[in-house]
Structure 1
Amino acid sequence: MIGKKASESRTVLTDLVLPPDTNYHGTIFGGNVMAYIDKVASIAAMRHARTMVVTASSDSLDFISPIRTGEAICVEGYVSYTRKTSMEIFVKVEAEDLLTGEHRLTATSYLTFVALDNQGKPTAVPPVIPETEDEVWHFEGAEERFQQRKKRRDQRVERERNK
């Protein structure tokens, strides 16, 4: 299968944070950020695989700083690594002060998606080709993150079996 550049899956979403999107601190609800992340990651995965996908895991979401009412939320994601039927998607979230143009990192996340065929069964995905320094950095660390996810999942399954 021919590989695809990480940039081919790059997806960007920008939205204005309004009062109904925020908590009593005047910052965006974390659940709203999570929904944006999942949506952007889904689109990136579908662009890469050109098939249906499902979220298999969201193994990290690190909130770094809040996004306040009146700022823009900018969510960007791309496929950072692939295995046979799964894709790791890296997503970063930034806040933009629309009056000054200042951007600041507010969150990062890794999600795993599985590509599905028309019968809902896992199907092969093309390998990803990293090009930029950041894409290479995420690509090179992906196998270790995969092993950590697998270990965590296996431990949960074992724990549930032993209840």
Structure 2
Amino acid sequence: MSDLYRKGNTSRVTLSQLMLPSHSNFSGKIHGGHLLSLMDQIAFASGSKFSGKYCVTASVDRVDFLNPIEVGELVTLKASVIFVGNSSMVVGIRVEAQNIQTGKVKHCNSSYFTMIAKDEQGNNVRVPRLILTSKEEILRFVKTTQRLKLRHNYAELCADFDGDMHQAIHNIQQHFEVKFELPS
């Protein structure tokens, strides 16, 4: 197959790890920071596998912790490239935790990491184009374009205020129920 195009499944990576007491927070659940570290590792592996290059994390789009993870559960992360730009790739990640005694599996998190491919000098490099091979891959690709468009629109909306406090207050009052107590 040409390096100009690659199937998303060439980027699939699965990582499983038993959650230990050292991974827990003060409430006894697995610390979100530990989970984010695992997610960053698998995003790097997936992006590097797809591009054949060293990758860095550019952004993380939403991290919703849906269900807590307990000490002693087996956490499995699954990742693959679901969208490509010029030098960027969006890696979709699904996190599940399994109670190894009962076999019950729960979905704990889904997230999207944008990874940038780099050359040996640290410059951005073009990544292969994506070959979509299923209805599911097409839907993930379209949903990613919608998330990227929303992010772009949000950035433009925030830029409109650029230090104009009166405009910011007006916008807030139009959309939210808040009270202002500003020093004179």
| Structure 1 residue 68 corresponds to structure 2 residue 74 | no
- Greater RCO structure (CA 8 Å; 6+ sep): 1
- Amino acid corresponding to residue 7 of structure 1 in structure 2: N
Alpha-carbon contact 1:59-1:149 (below 8 Å) kept: no
Q: Which residue of 2 aligns with 1:43?
A: 45
Q: Distance in 1 between matches of 2:93 and 2:51?
A: 17
1:104-162 Cα offsets, whole Å, 9 max, x none, are 10001011111112221111101122334433321121211112233344556x38963
Q: Distance in 1 between matches of 2:156 and 2:128?
A: 26
1:54-93 Cα offsets, whole Å, 9 max, x none, are 1110011111101101101111111000011110110010
Q: Distance in 2 between matches of 1:70 and 1:42?
A: 26
Q: Which residue of 1 aligns with 2:163?
A: 162
The 5 Å alignment of 1:40-119 reads 40-119=42-121
Q: Distance in 1 between matches of 2:51 and 2:63?
A: 23
More moved, 89-98 vs 110-119: 110-119
* TM-score scaled by length of structure 2: 0.80
Q: Which residue of 1 aligns with 2:177?
A: none
In structure 1, the gaps of 5 or more residues are: none
- Amino acid corresponding to residue 30 of structure 1 in structure 2: G
Q: Secondary structure at the match of 1:162?
A: coil
**Of residues 148, 151, 165 in structure 2, which corresponds to 1:149?**
151
Q: Distance in 2 between matches of 1:160 and 1:69?
A: 45
Query: For the aligned residues, what is the CA RMSD?
Result: 1.9
The count of aligned residue pairs is 162
Q: Which residue of 2 aligns with 1:2?
A: 4
Alpha-carbon contact 1:17-1:73 (below 8 Å) kept: yes
* TM-score scaled by length of structure 1: 0.90
Q: Percent identity?
A: 29
Q: Distance in 2 between matches of 1:78 and 1:162?
A: 40
Q: Which residue of 1 aligns with 2:27?
A: 25
Give 1:17 deviation, angstroms: 0.7
Q: Secondary structure at the match of 1:39?
A: helix
| Structure with the bigger percentage of strand | 1
